[in-house]
Amino acid sequence: MATTKAREDIKNDLKTLKEDLKTGAREETQRLREKASEAEARLRAKSDEVREQARDYYEKARVQGREYYDDAAERLDEAQRYVVERVQERPLQSTAIALGVGVVIGLLLAGRRR
């Protein structure tokens, strides 16, 4: 009878242990789900932050690029006006210079073919 009582106690202890393990597993699963949800929320927040930074960098680069373009266009216009004025002031000299430069370039290109 003592062994039957001991067996019943062991069975009850095993049953209690099994229920405790199931409860612990459910609690741990729930805790892990909460942690995963928190991590996902932090990741989304960080993703939104990085996306906003990228937009800011893009906008700054776009504005800076536009400024560089406008500056280069203005300088090109000034250079064109300068050349046009010099050609109009001295058309014969300008023509001779252009002819000389053309001949030199032609000779350089012809020399490469040989």
Residue 110 pLDDT > 90: no
Number of residues assigned to the chain: 114
| Structural domain range at position 37 | 2-113
pTM (2 d.p.) = 0.49
Residue 60 pLDDT > 90: yes
Give the pLDDT confidence of 25-55 residue by residue, as tens digits: 999 999 999 999 999 999 999 999 999 999 9
What whole-number distance in Å separates Cα of residue 36 and Cα of residue 59? Answer: 34
Residue 79 pLDDT > 90: yes
Give the number of domains in the chain.
Answer: 1
Residue 5 pLDDT > 90: no
Residue 111: the pLDDT is 79
